[in-house]
Chains A and B, each alone.
Chain A
Amino acid sequence: MTTTLPVYTKKDFQTDQEVRWCPGCGDYAILSAVQQVFPELGVPREKFVVVSGIGCSSRFPYYMNTYGFHTIHGRAPAVATGLKLARPELEVWIATGDGDALSIGGNHTIHMLRRNVGLKVLLFNNRIYGLTKGQYSPTSETGKKAKSTPYGSVDRPFNVLSLALGAEATFVARSVDVFQGHLKATLRKAAAHRGSAFVEILQNCNIFNDGAWDSLVEKDVKEDHLIQLEHGQPLIFGKNKDKGIRMKGIDLEVVTLGNGVAESDLIVHDERHPNPAYAFLLSRMEALPGFPTPLGVLRAVDAPRYEEGANQQVQELIARKGPGDLAKLLSGGDTWEVK
């Protein structure tokens, strides 16, 4: 492009619409982070499209001064796939939630990831249905007492990252609504990824599931309960940076540095590891006693993008066969003349 881009600020991506999330909702922080990152991406504003489904998170497009499409429950990935196939040059972001993406829209989510459509997916995970006022969600912990489960839920939750990795997502990351710096850095990495970029954002619903992530994100516990993944850096965590993770057989093991355990024994994080089993192991840690919950980019690998392949096929056929001739097509096959 020869034309110079306007210099954007956060303000350029804000709309005049009154934001209608509950005061104190984690969604505000996510909106603010996105509005700060978009101006940095070097993309003309008119090329951005924010697509959403249904749920609190899915009101997102109304507050972004870009093209926006608030679709129906669960279907944002399918709408966005159609849009991206038709217009691969657009920068299409999806705002979705745990119910929207993993329950009613689960099928579209896995197929979008399988195809590696060049879409950015922000999954706001608050482990609850907020907009319908407090039912348990597919990420709620077993035993969750909610409006529809007064005696506790009995089904197992999805591990969001494992699910995405199982669908062979090429970019899988996790961040937290209140960790603004980390969130913005993660969004920048997602923006730079060329295939489906899947970002789970741990988000607090202060009305129906307040404190769902407190055990991870509160100041006094986060150092011990979270591990920040940095590409090329060893897996170290803990208040005193004295704990690390190493391989033990085909499992991971938490070790304390010292007493014969050196940094060189630890796993060096490789988000581009060709074997998805590595990222999958990381995604399973949070369920294991004594293990930290991973934040950051678990996996970022290159793979052909669906919309690119599909459009390339069309272009190749046009080049090979010449642009379609309608008259020839209509009279194709066996014909006869009536005089």
Chain B
Amino acid sequence: MATAEAPTRKRETIEQAVIRFCGDSGDGMQITGSQFTNTVAMYGNDIATFPDFPAEIRAPAGTLPGVSGFQLHFASGDVYTPGDAVDVLIAMNPAALKMNVADLKTNGILIVNTDNFKEIDLKKAQITVSPLEDGSLQGYRLFPVALTKLTRAALKDLGLDAKSMDRCKNFFALGMCYWLYNRAMDATDRYLDDKFKTKPALVEANKLAMKAGYSYCEATEAFQTSYEIPPAKLPPGTYRNINGNSALALGFVAASRQSGLPLFQGSYPITPASDILHELSMFKSFGVMTFQAEDEIAAMTSAIGAAYGGSLAITTTSGPGMALKMEAIGLAIAVELPMVICNIQRGGPSTGLPTKTEQADLFQALYGRNSEAPVPVLAPSTPGDCFWIALEACRIALKYMVPVIILSDGYLANGAEPWKVPDVSELPDFKVKFRTDAEGFMPYLRHPETLARAWAVPGTPGLEHRVGGLEKQDVTGNVNYEPLNHERMVHLRAAKVAAVVQEVPDVVPAGDPDGDLLFVGWGSTYGAITAALRSARGQGKRIGHVHLRHLNPLPRNLGDVLGRYKKVVVPEMNMGQLVWLLRAKYLVDAEGFNKIQGKPFKQSEIEAKIEEVLR
């Protein structure tokens, strides 16, 4: 690889950059973005990513609904969000340009594939005059590049057809970006070697296209400056790049090992949760049983069956699937069996926005079942936190014999960050012991502290018993319709979930421990709130931030903490669900700050809210 630079070029060291690749769904933007991400992460930058793609697999090529994008924020300092505005935008066609250019910073770098700006391409994007010619791009540093032609020229000796050559143009663009940020291409080389193991021609073509892109920048002197972003100062350790869905999958495998129980996953394919099923189905050598059920209800009920049999059972879904599972979750509550239900939230109602993020299923998780049917609810704050939340959810489920809901979302699921690989010997141990002693066994006899009933699995001699969804008598578990017994059982089930508060650490606000304003968040808003708080506190305001990982039960000291600030604001990607809960439970005049656009909060939006509230 040629790395020597022309002496006239400048290499500038900067702290951070935000880059976005956008193009048609078929242009390979997600792969391009992931490759760039992996390379900068391995180099040691802190990162946050935001893949944003349409629900259609391939909308008509070149049209606005077909635009797919991948945004990466990488820096030598801490990164909390994928970035509000973009420093570098790579647009593969007019539709992508039209949909994304508004996010490009003034004077930002704009790389455009000019080969896709013919009249027909413009028409597909519903543009009459080419933005390359109408002066609308004046505020940016425009680099028009004939990506398709240049890629074909680079690959002309490989004997590939035009279509196959054109499929490599994203790697030409990737090569350009590697030059722009002075990054080595070897990690992507390794990726290609592995990905196209059986198709050496494609390995060669993509590598060649990438190198051609790199050399193009080198040779044409189109770019006068390249950039260097030094590694971030992360705590020492081994790191990998991880997204939320992968982290959940790994967390469940870890929980299986730490509990000593085989993992069972019953799931039905649904965006954006399917990747958890894909991942876990690869981990069978860990004793993982994955079951692709006939529907969401069977996914849930098969998990109940497996839990009844003594497995660590989970199911994974998104909002619409969650709605279908609700009756069965009620059964799991009634029979008091441990399992974990993951809802990777997306925009709704109904099918809604399958590939876009939202946090509007909190009420569904808390109150979506018939009758009084509480469950513990947990929410991870970052992609890497998904690993720890999976472990925590399993630990609580097994200790309290209760189904536990995890609320992740599309943004956490697909967004990536560097993740410090934990030392396996330091993971919490929660080995499970089944009941085997027939002496004094009663199906609904409870542990005095956790109120958990004993887990007696089929096959255990002398413990034959019946469970079911009908109300049962306390202790014996026999079917029972007596009024006072029912009331007692309702209270017992609620008390058991309330007892989980023993596992919930008191909250310690980030930022100021008291003062003018407290942000209370949950889930994927963590990054935006944290980043905004850092910049606003630098300006002398007294602001705190509590980010809830346990949404039911809530931390014991939360009410006290809420009272230490003059104002409480709750940013949520919904119409105000947690804020409703806080107002009801703590009689606090908390204010909602809501965004329901299928997109995560921007740092600047939270900052503007701070300005507004503290004006």
Contacts and interface: CB of A to CB of B under 8 A. Distances in A.
Interface stretch (A25-33, A286-294, A307-315): A307-315
Nearest to B313: A82
Interface stretch (A40-48, A217-225, A275-283): A40-48
Nearest to B293: A78
Given A80-B305, A331-B238, A71 B469 contact: yes
A87 to B, nearest CB: 4
B309 interface: yes
B305 A313 contact: no
A68 B305 contact: no
Contact of A82 (B254, B305, B327, B331): B305
B460 interface: yes
A338 B310 contact: no
Contacts of A64: 466
B468 interface: yes
Given A67-B458, A82-B306, A322 B468 contact: no
A78 B250 contact: no
B467 A326 contact: no
Contacts of A338: 44, 231, 234-239
A337 B238 contact: yes
Nearest to A16: B478
B298 A47 contact: no
Contacts of B257: 326
A331 B421 contact: yes
Given A83-B308, A338-B44, A330 B250 contact: yes
A313 B288 CA distance: 10
A335 interface: yes
Contact of A75 (B235, B297, B460, B470): B297
B240 A335 contact: yes
B479 interface: yes
Interface in B400-451: 421-424
Given A87-B310, A331-B421, A81 B302 contact: yes
Given A47-B459, A81-B291, A66 B298 contact: no
Contacts of B335: 69
Interface string A305-339: 00000110110011011111011011111111111
A12 to B, nearest CB: 10
Interface string B596-611: 0000000000000000
Interface in A43-89: 44-47, 49, 51, 54, 61-62, 64-72, 75, 78-87, 89
Nearest to B38: A334
A68 B421 contact: no
A86 B286 contact: no
Contacts of A148: none
A68 B477 CA distance: 12
Nearest to A110: B294
A240 interface: no
Contacts of A61: 466, 468
A107 B295 contact: yes
B8 interface: no
**Size range of the interface on A?**
35 or more
Contact of B42 (A46, A107, A329, A334): A334
Given A65-B464, A71-B301, A317-B285, A85 B458 contact: no
Contacts of A69: 305, 308, 335, 466-468
B363 interface: no
Interface in B449-490: 457-470, 478-479
A15 interface: yes
Contacts of B238: 331, 335-338
Given A79-B302, A331-B421, A333-B240, A90 B458 contact: yes
A310 B423 CA distance: 31
Nearest to A111: B294
Contacts of A335: 42, 238-240, 421
A17 B469 contact: no
B284 interface: yes
B304 interface: yes
Contacts, number: 210
A140 B165 CA distance: 63
Given A62-B468, A69-B468, A78 B458 contact: no
Given A67-B465, A326-B253, A338-B236, A82 B478 contact: no
A108 interface: yes
A331 B424 CA distance: 10
Contacts of A84: 305
B331 A71 contact: yes
Contacts of B467: 68-70
Given A71-B469, A321-B285, A329-B253, A86 B309 contact: yes
Contact of A336 (B44, B286, B287, B298): B44
B309 A314 contact: no
Contacts of B287: 314, 318, 323-324
B465 A85 contact: no
A280 to B, nearest CB: 23
Nearest to A52: B468
A81 B257 CA distance: 24
Interface in B209-250: 231, 234-241, 250
Contacts of A322: 285
Contacts of A81: 291, 298, 302, 305
Contacts of B327: 72
A61 B462 CA distance: 17
A10 to B, nearest CB: 15
Contacts of B250: 329-330
Contacts of B289: 85-86, 310-311, 314
Nearest to A339: B236
A83 B458 contact: yes
B286 A326 contact: yes
A257 to B, nearest CB: 47
Interface string A132-172: 00000000000000000000000000000000000000000
A79 B304 CA distance: 6
Nearest to B330: A72
Given A46-B458, A47-B459, A90-B309, A85 B264 contact: yes
A104 B467 CA distance: 21
Interface string B180-224: 000000010010000000000000000000000000000000000
Nearest to A87: B309
Nearest to A66: B464
B304 A44 contact: no
A71 B42 contact: no
A66 B467 CA distance: 11
A329 B280 CA distance: 12
B113 interface: no
B262 interface: yes
B41 A82 contact: no
Nearest to A45: B464
Contacts of A321: 285
A74 to B, nearest CB: 8
A332 B289 CA distance: 21
Contacts of B478: 17
Given A61-B466, A326-B286, 20 more contacts: A46-B464, A47-B459, A54-B469, A62-B479, A67-B466, A68-B465, A69-B335, A71-B304, A72-B331, A79-B308, A86-B305, A86-B309, A90-B309, A107-B294, A108-B301, A111-B294, A317-B284, A331-B240, A334-B241, A337-B238
7 contacts: A75-B298, A84-B305, A310-B289, A314-B288, A318-B285, A330-B424, A337-B237
Interface of A: 15, 17, 44-47, 49, 51, 54, 61-62, 64-72, 75, 78-87, 89-90, 107-108, 111, 310-311, 313-314, 317-318, 320-324, 326-327, 329-339
Interface of B: 38, 41-44, 187, 190, 231, 234-241, 250, 253-254, 257, 262, 264, 266, 283-289, 291, 293-295, 297-298, 301-311, 313, 327-328, 330-331, 335, 421-424, 457-470, 478-479
For the complex of A and B, the 9 pairs showing the least CB-CB separation, nearest first, are A70-B468, A82-B305, A82-B302, A324-B286, A83-B305, A78-B298, A68-B466, A86-B309, A79-B305
